[in-house]
Amino acid sequence: MKNPKGKVYLVGAGPGDCDLMTVRSHKLLSQAEVLIYDALIDIPQLELIPVTCRKIEVGKRGGKPSTQQQEINRLLVEQCKLGKQVVRLKSGDPFIFGRSSSEIQALITAGCEFEVVPGISSVLAAPLLAGIPLTDPVMSRCFAVMSAHEPDALEWEALVRIETLVILMGGRNLSEIIWQLQKHGRSPETPIAIIRDCSRPEQKIWIGTLFNIVQQTAGQSLSPCAIVIGEVVRLREYLIGSENTNMSVKPVISNNSQPLAGKTILVTRAASQSGQFSDRLQQLGARAIEMPALVIGAPSTWEPLDRAIAQLSSFHWLILTSHNAVDWFFERLQAKGKDARSLSGIKIAVVGKKTAESLRSHSLQPDFIPPNFVADSLVENFPDNLQNCKILFPRVESGGREVLVKEFTAKGAQVIEVPAYQSCCPETIAPIALAALQNKAVNIITFASSKTVHNFCNLIEKKPELSLSEDWLENVCIASIGPETSKSCLKLLGKVDVEATEYTLDGLTEAIVQWATKYQTL
């Protein structure tokens, strides 16, 4: 039987941030069987590939042992002939200083099918992310791009006449570049910007002139960097504000001022609930990876809730301890032909701000919110005499806290518990979360309930292929939304690093930011 037909995709990975890769690139990475990648490719980009994909690093690093181009060519041909879908992931764009010609020639000679997929080069991305336009009607009607890996090979006499220069691979030869430019007539006052690690959380920018830039960057590692030379550098002050422009010794930090910059955070909430939380973390600079540890759905039977809805007028209080309880209760209320008017004369207690917001979305105000956003605080601070009080308590079908019902009952209340929804453990782990755990790329894991902790651990145990080392949690921050969740973290994971003071997602976010700020100053 013949091997399936293989194909090689020469894919541009862009400048570093996987969000700046093309949709086509993301799709190819998710289907790759073999990945042959450059040294500058980041772990977040590698997380996009399937767990079963074979990864081979062949990148070239200045001053370090590098894979010979002939060997890279051989690997591409070999894997293609084995029938594999091969992604050759190259930094930036494959056709800009990407050494693609040699690889394509080898593939053509061997009769291998291939496709070239463009990427955003740091030639364009680095100046843009630093707030420097490469062209301007007055200051720059054209720009030239070059590699300064071998500065003696460049035609400096011609280059100095071009208004804007963009130089890659020039960090190690900065002094030679500055000397050549001034020798051939460029003014020492010519502005220059050096952008290192563009688009990555650790991106840094130095702004200076040909006269002082070498002194400014003395002792700094400048690779990988893009160098922009010309009057357009001065436009940065007008485009992003003078407070972000620094012409002195200290480097300007472009996108690293966000408190969670550089942090990869695993979010374990249900897929239907994680979006806003993930968005908030990303706004603070984090990379949020969603690993749903809950699946929310209908209970196994509606009969108990339906009976309670039919007898609503007999209840004194309705207790809702989560926005899931609110949403599913009102969905069923509507399904039975009723609406909020059916709750006339019934007081409503809720736990937490988000639950209160969910209730208000149904045009109802809660009558009572306990001061501490946990269910236990309900009984302790309940505003009514509980003797002979009839309470309707729609809740999760299994795994909820029994102590609440026991304490209400002990004080004389009649509590009618009815399942309004069910939360189950997912069957699988999202591939990107799986890869992040395998690659030890996760800095923080968030838990918003005890059940997410239990389900997370169950998912990990179900995946023996994860092959996590015994110390995989050593450098991972475990962040809990409150005391009960923390108890589960301690029991199952052996530690809690962060616990929210206010037991809400906003409180959890604030606690994570405080931890990250403290961690960065250590």
Task: Out of 90, 169, 204, 354, pick the active-site residue.
Answer: 169
User: Do β-strands 390-396 and 252-253 pair in parallel, antiparallel, or remain unpaired?
Assistant: unpaired
One-letter amino acid for residue 398 of the chain: S
Structure tokens at 165: 């220069």
Known active-site residue 169: yes
Nearest in space to 421 (alpha carbons), one of 304, 337, 267, 277? 304
Task: Give the Cβ contact number of residue 207 at 10 Å.
Answer: 25
Q: How far is Cα 434 from Cα 199, in angstroms, rounded to an integer? A: 24
Task: Out of 17, 21, 38, 84, pick the active-site residue.
Answer: 38
Known active-site residue 60: yes
One-letter amino acid for residue 266 of the chain: L
Instruction: Please name the residues in contact with 70: beta carbons below 8 A apart, sequence gap of 6 or more.
Output: none
Structure tokens at 20: 């700046």
Q: Is 371 helix (H, G, I), strand (E, B) or coil?
A: coil
Structure tokens at 140: 């720059």
Task: Out of 7, 55, 60, 81, pick the active-site residue.
Answer: 60
Whole-Å CA distances, 264 to 101, 123, 261, 371, 460? 36, 27, 9, 33, 18
Known active-site residue 38: yes
Instruction: Please name the residues in contact with 191: beta carbons below 8 A apart, sequence gap of 6 or more.
Output: 207, 208, 209, 229, 230, 231, 232, 233, 234
Contact 109, 74 (CB under 8 A): no
Nearest in space to 381 (alpha carbons), one of 449, 319, 315? 319
User: Do β-strands 204-209 and 191-196 pair in parallel, antiparallel, or remain unpaired?
Assistant: antiparallel
Q: How far is Cα 149 from Cα 153, in angstroms, rounded to an integer? A: 9
The alpha carbons of the chain give a radius of gyration, in whole angstroms, of 29
Q: Which residues form the catalytic set?
A: 38, 60, 169
